[in-house]
Amino acid sequence: MAQLHSPGFLSWEAAAGKLWMVALLLGPLADAHTEWSRWLPVTLLSMPVYLYLHSRVYHGPYRYLLWYAMGMAALGLVVWPCNGVALGYVVSASMCLAYLPTVRQWLVAVALLALPVGMVSVWMQVSPWIMALVLFASVLSGAGHFLRMSNLRKDSQLRLSQDEVRRLATLAERERIGRDLHDLLGHTLSLVTLKSELARKLALIDPPRAQREMDEVERVARHALAEVRAAVTGMRRSDLAAEMVSARLMLEASGLMFDGELPAGATLPPAIEAPLALVLREAITNIHRHARATRASVRFQPGTELFQMCISDNGCGGLAAHGNGVSGMRERVNALGGNLQIDSPPRKGTTLTVRVPLPANSVVDAAQPVVAPRNAA
């Protein structure tokens, strides 16, 4: 289980799997006819062995999980005739078998475990109805364990797939940038080289012409520098549409319902849209990491003089005014001459409202909103 980086609920299950051991000592004491010398030494000797095997199920190599579970079951069959509560060793082993990777392996392991348990129960003359009830409870609890582990594996595979998609997208973007810079600078630098060589040759023969060639080199170089700056600015620039798609992918992959609308045809000056996109990214990241929400939404209210963005969730609330990246968001909004308002009562969700003034010559089309595409890559 260690290789799966066990989440919190598995740690709680590992702890709960040890609490029942109190009954190993209290159960026999409830029977006045039971002699302590018959059950107590065996029980005390078995408890450390069970604790070791049970902890190895959760923290040991996953390939040995079956052997650890079978060891717990064998321990229970040995101690059971002396202490009836020791049947819990076998029940715990059947639950741990549910962590096997496939349904077939789990069911086969439970069936193999049921055979010796049935033989010992017949030898001890235990009621078949009691054993049927124990088997039903074990299989039902094991099914819950198996479903949760299956979901955990699928979630891990999904995250690995998303990481691979991001890696490939980054690699493709780097290749594209390399091609663009090559196309942008290749011809220009070749021209600068030729002009410089010509100016060097003409420096003593025809100085005025050499001066004109160097002037041409300077003009070409300045033009290339401007193109490079424009290209880099375009590469770095974030936009709200892309951040909306990214927000949907992040939140819905984590099981959150996302409701986001972007006004169709809305255009903002790049100097305003880029900081707002970064604010949106930081807010969505906070929801993903800290809010413990099940639903999030983003709303835009464009206007001729003011642009408003509202980001809300139904999480735990209690967002600090200067925590979780809020300070950075506030600085970006203040730099635009706007304001950031936070409404985050404890256990009632959080709402971030951003209002930014627009320049007089900017145009924002408040047309019919369209939902951010769900299947965008």
352: nearest Cα among 363, 339, 365: 339
**Do the beta carbons of residue 60 and residue 52 sit within 8 Å?**
no
Query: What is the full per-residue pLDDT of the chain (377 aa) written as tens digits?
Result: 444 444 445 666 667 677 778 888 887 877 767 777 788 888 889 889 988 888 888 777 878 888 888 888 888 888 888 888 888 888 888 888 888 888 888 888 888 888 888 888 888 887 888 788 877 877 777 777 777 777 777 777 777 777 777 777 777 777 877 777 777 777 777 878 888 888 888 888 888 888 888 888 888 888 878 777 766 655 555 578 878 887 887 787 677 899 987 776 667 888 888 889 889 988 988 888 888 899 999 999 888 889 999 999 998 888 766 665 788 889 889 999 999 999 988 888 999 999 999 887 654 544 444 344 444 33
Q: Which residues, other chains included, contact 68 with Cβ-Cβ below 8 Å and sequence gap of 6+?
A: 53, 54, 56, 57, 60, 96
d(CA 106, CA 143): 9
Cβ burial of 361 (10 Å; 0-12, 13-18, 19+) is exposed
Provide the terminal-to-terminal Cα distance of the chain, rounded to the nearest Å.
33
Task: Check residue 287 and report its DSSP letter.
Answer: I
Q: Tell me the residue length of the chain.
A: 377
Domain positions in the chain are 2-126, 162-236, 240-371
CATH 3.30.390.10 fits 240-371, yes or no: no
What pTM was computed for the model?
A: 0.45
In Å, the largest CA–CA distance within the chain is 122
CATH code assigned to 162-236: 1.20.5.1930
